[in-house]
Each structure stands twice: as structure tokens, then as C-alpha cells.
Chains A and B, each alone.
Chain A
Amino acid sequence: MSAANLPQPAASDSVRMIRLMGSVSLICGLLIVGTHIGTMEPIRRNQEFITKETVSALLPGVDKQAVYSLVNGDLQPGAQPNVPVLYAGFDKQGALIGVVIETSERGYADTIKAMYAYSPDLQAITGFQVMELKETPGLGDKITKDPAFLDNFKKLDVTAGPDGKPAHPVVTVKHGTKKNPWEVDAISGATISSRAVGRMLAKSTATMLPLVRKNLDRIRKGN
């Protein structure tokens, strides 16, 4: 075998070790950086594709999309990290169909992340889609696909009150007791997950809708 098994002076041994660790780190570093640069573009495209798809699904007939970020209570064009983001969708004629807003709330098992569509003309929520959840399969995950539950969000009333917030906050009621257009009919057997959806919409509409309304003219013009 090589010199490794022979007794060596300590100094040259550690030099050897450092040189070896250095060259291994160099190879590893090059491999990682290469992959990082090589995959940057497809990763960005993938993520853009998913949000675009969701926005199109929530706002039927959408042709053009614009992104805004909420920075210190103000709307700014473009997506920025670590702040709430909203997407505006326009039809072929360039008229605003609605905005899509991200929201999240603690559910039964873990945080549920979702997006909902808001139409300024109808003053109502017109669509709701769960992006991420870990709710109990077969029970809590019904909030993603139960047709009767999703019907709640075809036109959920969030008409503005005097302070710009919805006059009647969105609230989840027990299955089969929905009376008002701002109530969400819970799924029986998935009450906690359904309530989480109601809470996330109530919270998000209270902060986001006044801002959307304040900046509506700017959003309509697309800048």
C-alpha cells in the first residue's frame, strides 16, 4: 500500500489531509454550483407555471396577469420575497376580471395554504383553491375537492362596510345551516378544516380587500 500506513512526520501528514480535504471540497463545490446554475432556469419556470395555472383556474377567461406585492401596507408592482403577493387577471380586452390572493391558516394537522379569487365588480369571492395541506386523508382533505363545499366559493359575499373591510366577515357555519351569502357551509366530519378555511378568508379579506379597493384604479390600469 501507499505511504498512509507508514509512520510519517505529523506536519506533512496534516498538510496532506488539508490538501485532500481542500481538493474534495473543491470538486464537491464545483458539482453543486454547476447543478445550481444548470437548474435555476427550469425551477423558476416550473414555479411560475404553477401560479399561472392556479390563477387561470380561479379566474376563468384570464389572458394577461400582473403581480403585486404588499410592502408596508402599500401595493407595489412585481413579486417580492417574504411579503404577501397578489395576482391581477385581465381578459382579452384588458379589463380586470379579478385578483387572486394567497392566504394560509392553521388547520387540523398543519398549516393549510390556499389562494382565492376576489372580484371587485361582484364584491365577492369567486373561487378558492388549496395549494398545500396535510389534513387527514379522507376527512380534512375534502376541503380540496368536495363539490358542495367548493360551491360556497362560487359567490361568497364580502361587500365592503364603511371601513373598507367586509361588512359581514366570512364565517363557517355547521353543515346544513348556511343562511347568508357570507357564510361557508362546513363539511360534516371535517369541521375543523372547514373552519380553518373560513378563518383564513376572514383574516385575509379584512387586511387585503381595503388595500385592493384603495389601489383599484391602479390595478385596473395595470400598473
Chain B
Amino acid sequence: MNTQSLGHIFIDSLLINNFVLSVFLGICPFIGCSNKLSTAWRMGVSVIFVITVSSVLAFGTNLMLVALGAEYLRIITYIVIIASTVQLVEMFIKKTSPALFRALGIYLPLITTNCAVLGVALFQTAREYNFAQSLVFAIASSAGFALALILMSIIRERLELSDIPDTARGTALVLMLAGTLSLAFMGFAGMGAG
């Protein structure tokens, strides 16, 4: 049972507890796919898609597991659901929108290893969200992931031609920038707390 309002969940998971900058989920694709804006937004859109679908499926599965008293199978079933969701979403996009498929093509399979997807499924169960809450949570937190990814890619494009010390090149620099972004996002904390 969880009584948080939908608006509150939305702001909370989009900004205050941003998945990348505050909860530390999906750091690998955040580092790997943030060097170009065009890559970043495509990855972001794919993740929003997959997380939303897998969240709905995980919600249904959890109901079934609880009814059967088989909560101990949760981790295994969730990971299977995510792997198949990625596959399903890939097939669905291929059928309905070939243009979108060409744009997202190589990013979809990468999402299976994105811990944000499993994170959404696990957090919505741990917090005992109902269906509407889960859905809002999934959309907002995946949009938060996309937002962080896009912001980072804009910063990295600007830094392309700057002179950076050798030791700080690559991942270390991205982490420094992420820390600064995370500091900025801390300013959102306290919103909705009155």
C-alpha cells in the first residue's frame, strides 16, 4: 500500500530522485551513449519505450507471483520478462514503423543490460505501487534517464574541442560532469515536501 499522489511520483522520479544522477541506475549506457546528441535521444526514446512496457508486464507478473505465493521467483521472472520485452518491442517497432526501427536499430538490444529497466520493476514492487502509480513511475523515471543522457550529450559535444588533461580524458571526465549535474539536480530536492 502506498498513498503517494501521481503528480508527486512523477516529479520525484523525473527530477528529485533522478535514476542516473541520484539513484545510480543505468550508469553504463549513460557513460557509453552520451557522446553525441543524436545517439543520446535515440537511446533515451528506446529506454522510455522498453521500461514502460516491461513495467506493465512486471506489474502483472508480480500479481500472479503473489497469488501463487512464489515471491522467491521474482528476480528470475523479472529478468526473463525484460529480455523478452526488448525482443518484443524490437519486433513491434520493426512491423509498425520501419523508419523508427532504422533509427533505434542497434540501441534496442543494448537495453537488456541496462540496470534501470530491472530497477524500475524492482522498485515499483518494493514500494508497493498500484497500477497507475507504477505506470507513472515507469514513464517518469525513464524520461529522467533520457533527460540526464541528453543533458550530458549536449555538454560533451561542447567539450569536444577543449583541451583536457590526459589523465582526465574519457570516463573520468564524464563522471566529473555527472557529479556537477547531480549537484545541480540536488536543488530539486524538497520540491513537493512543503
A–B interface present (Cβ within 8 A): yes
Residues of chain A touching chain B, judged by Cβ–Cβ distance below 8 Å, are 28, 32-33, 35-36, 82-83, 106-111, 136, 192, 195-196, 199
| B residues near A110, Cβ cutoff 8 Å | 17
Neighbouring A residues of B72 by C-beta, 8 Å: 32-33, 35-36
Q: List residues of chain B with CB within 8 A of the CB of A195.
A: 193-194
Name the A residues within 8 Å of B8 (CB-CB): 106
> B189 touching A32 by the CB < 8 A rule?
no
Tell whether B161 is near chain A: CB-to-CB under 8 Å. no
* A136 contact set on B, CB distance < 8 A: 189
Contact in complex: B189, A106 (CB < 8 Å): no
How many interface contacts (CB-CB < 8 Å) are there between A and B? 31
Cβ of B109 < 8 Å from any Cβ of A?
no
Given A82-B1, A106-B192, 16 more pairs with CB closer than 8 A: A28-B76, A35-B72, A36-B72, A106-B4, A106-B193, A107-B193, A108-B189, A108-B190, A109-B16, A109-B17, A109-B189, A110-B17, A192-B193, A195-B193, A195-B194, A196-B193
- Kindly state the interface size class of chain B when it binds its partner: 10 to 19
Compute how far the CA of A35 lies from the CA of B76 in the bound complex, rounded to whole angstroms: 15
Q: In the assembled complex, which residues on chain A have CB atoms less than 8 Å from the CB atom of B192?
A: 106
Q: How far is the CA of A126 from the CA of B49 in the complex (A)?
A: 50
Q: Bound state CA distance, A198 and B1, in angstroms?
A: 22
Residue of A whose beta carbon sits closest to that of B75: A32
Whether B73 contacts A32 by the Cβ 8 Å rule is: yes
**B128 proximity list for chain A (CB < 8 A):** 82
Q: Which of A82, A109, A136, A195 has the most CB of B within 10 A?
A: A109
Q: Which residues of B contact A36 (CB under 8 A)?
A: 72
Contact partner of B190 among A35, A82, A192, CB < 8 A?
Answer: A192
Report the minimal beta-carbon distance from B69 to chain A, rounded to whole angstroms: 11
A48 to B11, CA, bound (A): 35
Chain B 151-194, CB-CB to A under 8 Å as 1, else 0, gives 00000000000000000000000000000000000000110111
Q: How far is the CA of A106 from the CA of B11 in the complex (A)?
A: 13
Contact digits for B67-86, partner A, Cβ 8 Å, 1 yes 0 no: 00000110010000000000
**Top-4 shortest CB links A-B:** A36-B72, A192-B193, A82-B1, A108-B190
Chain A residue, CB-CB nearest to B8: A106
Q: Which of B1-47 contact A (CB under 8 A)?
A: 1, 4, 8, 16-17
**Residues of B contacting A106 with CB < 8 Å?**
4, 8, 192-193
Contact A108 B17 (CB under 8 A): no
In the assembly, what is the distance between CA of A101 and CA of B73, in Å?
32
Q: Determine the distance from Cα of A108 to Cα of B12 in the docked complex, in whole angstroms.
A: 11
Binary flags per residue of B49-81, CB closer than 8 Å to A gives 1, else 0:
000000000000000000000001100100000
Report A180 CB to chain B, min CB distance, Å.
21
A40 → chain B closest CB, angstroms: 10
